[in-house]
């Protein structure tokens, strides 16, 4: 399958970009990597902005699934308007992506109706991120005690928010930071929204002046920066982060947003899930990303693109928690059979199953030549990408060679067999099966 590649300034450059390397693997003859150009995103799916194509016929996958509804299953085709319910991506991030959130379904419909140029569809966009290389990012609001610590120990942050708002936040959440009582949680979220909005609505010149003070402190204080950091991040780690991000977006409000958000690092294979209306900013790394099929983004920092601060500050959930609560716990995928070679080489098929129906992802790692994984047929569509090694894919009587970067669409009700012809063969499969979302609990 031929998949579209997006060139953005935030992307990794040339052959350093996994997105570019995977795109170049498809033998279409119309793309070659330019060593000085950044390549950020590889899209796999039917989103009308950039639908994938059949390599041989050049027909779009969108046309194919519309003409043959059985490819997705009648139920999925009917429910999702004859389009794949998910969008599968590879992101290669060199420079911070925007501080952003994706609207829920109701808000997406309103934004699209009001401003279709900046909000190109009416769908929500919960998303899951799986690290292919070491990754870091800002994801979700920190525990409130950490935010209070930074308000007390970062003078430039406190001055931007304002003494009155900072004191009100500290008084309202003190002693209730981890309370599970509904009234306390609601009060905490309201206080967090007030403090965060006060920061985001400051004028750019005031932010730029405060940023100079912040960066000077980061350069001079080392481990003592930001009161030595919070429980989640050390002072030197945060100081280095401020200096790094200021080098990319000098004087940006995002330099202060990082004190509100969890700074997370994912090792290869680790994953996290973000609901619609969750704030985040991806900073660096190569990732597999799967999301509901949408391109709606509400931005408010680390970007020269259109920013919609009033919408962002009003739409966020203002949920606060340590990053451990956003990280996923993948499990063995129960509907695959490994042959003896696969078992003896500790091969695996791991399921990442978020709490939504549009998608799940299976990572298959075959660790020896001849290792084979046979996937039971499911009543829904799949897209498979190879990220390392080589092998074969078989669906019914048809067998195809698989190389790193190759992408395949597998229709509903088809058994799929992956077989390695290298010592390490890695694939990711995104799929939708409406009747099978309970598989995360081991029930089918």
Going by C-beta distance under 8 Å and a sequence separation of 6 or more, which residues neighbour residue 19? 5, 6, 11, 12, 39, 40, 41, 42, 90, 91, 92, 286
DSSP category for residue 411: -
- The closest of 88, 91, 81, 90 to 122, measured between CA atoms, is 81
Q: Is 59 a catalytic residue?
A: no
Strands 280-292 and 336-338: unpaired
Q: How far apart (Å, rounded) are the C-alpha atoms in residues 428 and 300?
A: 32
Per DSSP, 110 falls in state H
The tokens for 245 are 């991000």
Token pair 């200021």: residue = 246
Please give the span between the terminal C-alpha atoms of the chain, in angstroms, as a whole number: 30
Give me the catalytic one of 142, 176, 187, 299. 299
Q: How far apart are CA 23 and CA 32, in angstroms?
A: 9
Contact 127, 282 (CB under 8 A): no
Residues labelled as active-site residues: 299
């Amino acid at each position: 399958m031929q998949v579209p590649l997006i060139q953005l300034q935030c992307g990794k450059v040339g052959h350093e970009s996994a997105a570019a390397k995977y795109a170049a693997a498809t033998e279409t003859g119309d793309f070659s990597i330019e060593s000085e150009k950044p390549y950020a995103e590889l899209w796999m799916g039917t989103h009308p902005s950039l639908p994938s194509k059949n390599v041989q016929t050049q027909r779009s996958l969108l046309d194919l699934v519309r003409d043959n509804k059985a490819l997705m299953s009648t139920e999925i085709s009917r429910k999702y308007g004859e389009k794949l319910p998910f969008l599968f991506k590879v992101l290669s991030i060199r420079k911070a992506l925007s501080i952003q959130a994706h609207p829920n379904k109701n808000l997406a419909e309103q934004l699209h109706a009001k401003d279709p140029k900046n909000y190109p569809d009416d769908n929500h966009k919960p998303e899951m991120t799986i690290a292919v290389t070491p990754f870091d990012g800002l994801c979700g609001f920190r525990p409130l005690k950490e935010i209070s610590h930074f308000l007390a120990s970062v003078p430039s942050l406190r001055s931007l928010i304002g003494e009155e708002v900072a004191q009100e936040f500290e008084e309202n959440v003190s002693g209730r930071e981890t309370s599970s009582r509904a009234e306390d949680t609601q009060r905490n979220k309201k206080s967090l929204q007030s403090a965060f909005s006060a920061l985001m609505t400051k004028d750019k010149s005031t932010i730029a002046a405060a940023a100079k003070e912040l960066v000077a402190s980061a350069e001079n204080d080392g481990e003592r920066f930001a009161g030595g950091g919070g429980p989640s991040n050390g002072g030197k780690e945060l100081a280095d982060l401020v200096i790094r991000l200021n080098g990319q977006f000098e004087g940006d409000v995002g330099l202060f947003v990082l004190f509100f958000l969890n700074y997370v690092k994912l090792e290869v294979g680790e994953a996290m899930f973000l609901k619609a209306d969750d704030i985040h900013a991806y900073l660096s790394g190569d990732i597999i990303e799967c999301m509901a099929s949408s391109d709606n983004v509400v931005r408010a920092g680390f970007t020269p693109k259109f920013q919609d601060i009033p919408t962002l500050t009003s739409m966020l959930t203002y949920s606060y928690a340590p990053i451990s609560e956003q990280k996923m716990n993948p499990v063995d995928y129960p509907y695959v059979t490994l042959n003896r070679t696969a078992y003896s080489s500790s091969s695996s098929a791991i399921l990442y199953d978020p709490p939504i129906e549009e998608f799940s992802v299976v990572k298959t790692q075959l660790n020896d030549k001849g290792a084979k994984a046979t996937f039971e047929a499911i009543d829904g569509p799949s897209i498979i990408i190879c990220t390392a090694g080589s092998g074969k894919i078989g669906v019914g009587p048809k067998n195809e060679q698989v190389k790193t970067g190759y992408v395949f669409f597998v229709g509903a009700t088809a058994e799929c067999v992956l077989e390695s012809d290298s010592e390490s063969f890695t694939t990711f499969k995104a799929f939708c099966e409406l009747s099978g979302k309970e598989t995360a609990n081991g029930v089918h």
